[in-house]
Amino acid sequence: MAIENIWIIDSNSGICIFDWYTKSKEKTIDEQLVSGLLLAFRSFSSEAGLVDISAIEGLNKKLAYKSDERFIVAAICHLNDYEPLVNKTILGLLEDFRKKYKDLIDDDATTDVSPFRTFAEDIESKLEGTTSARNVTTLLVGSIITMMLVGVVFAIYAIFIDNLELALPDSFSLLGLVILLIGFILSGFIGVIIAGDRRFGLYAGIFATLPVIGLFIAFFQSGWGTIGNIIVTSILFLLIFLVMICAGSLIGGYIKEQRFMYPLDMEEIDEE
């Protein structure tokens, strides 16, 4: 599950009118304690000019919260979750809450919180499919996929390089290198979608680059001349390939982080 606890607080009364926690977690936090804390912190933040603060961070979790003219919605989620995504998610929940209980809210009938309990089902439905695992397994699979795709790009290059040389004798070397680099960027991009995030994407890119550069050297070193030239050229291509694959991984990881939150299940969290 992407979120562990959710609280909705009525600023007018200072009462937490709704609280929710995952089925796998016992209720251990007093909702009125959360209400008092957030109301006090919001007041302090406003007076201190800290208007952009929307989270209180811990070791591997954070308390994220947003508010409108009347309600504060807060949630405990993973520390690494992309902040705009978290804010969009919890504000979306608050909007759904307002729509579902519009009549009660308009009548200011929030002292009896029992009618709001049915919103738990809406939360579970809304949060379904919002997480993506980031762990050793996804890292290994992402690395293998990246490696395979880079291998495919390299094989296609090796197969068609002769035809490319015949068609474009003056510029085939540069064009061939550009094709390789574009292929490597796409390979890193696709691999990190499985790996999970930018950090894992970098690891996957590094793991995938090393065997591929070995193949590249094995196939082409005969035309590089002396041992010194082979070493220098190998290092140069290693750096170029590594940068391109990791660039694709960073782009893909950033997009993945914008769309999916980290799971809070202990089996799936990559603990810091």
Q: Are 202 and 96 members of one domain?
A: no
Q: Which of 68, 103, 127 is the last residue of a domain?
A: 127
With respect to residue 264, please indicate whether it lies within any of the assigned structural domains. no
DSSP E strands: which ranges in 68-176? 71-78
Question: Domain boundary residue among 101, 127, 153?
Answer: 127
Q: Are residues 178 and 120 in the same domain?
A: no
List pLDDT tens digits, range 39-68. Answer: 888 777 777 766 666 788 888 899 999 988
Whether 269 is covered by a domain: the verdict is no
Q: What is the chain's percent helix, strand, coil content, to nearest 5?
A: 60, 15, 25
**What is the domain range of residue 90?**
3-127
Tokens of 261: 């939150």
Angle between helical axes of 172-195 and 198-220 (0-180°, round to 10): 140
CA separation for the pair 101, 105 (Å, rounded): 6
Domain boundary among 127, 159, 183: 127
pLDDT in tens, 194-224: 888 888 888 888 887 777 777 777 776 776 7
- pTM for the predicted model, two decimal places: 0.78
- Report yes or no on 226 lying in a domain: yes
Please answer whether residues 216 and 154 qualify as being in contact, where contact means their C-beta atoms are separated by less than 8 angstroms: yes
Does the pLDDT value for residue 99 go beyond 90?
A: yes
Q: For 112-164, what is each residue's pLDDT tens digit?
A: 888 898 999 899 889 888 898 888 888 889 888 988 888 888 778 777 777 76
Number of structural domains found in the chain: 2
In a domain, 122, yes or no: yes
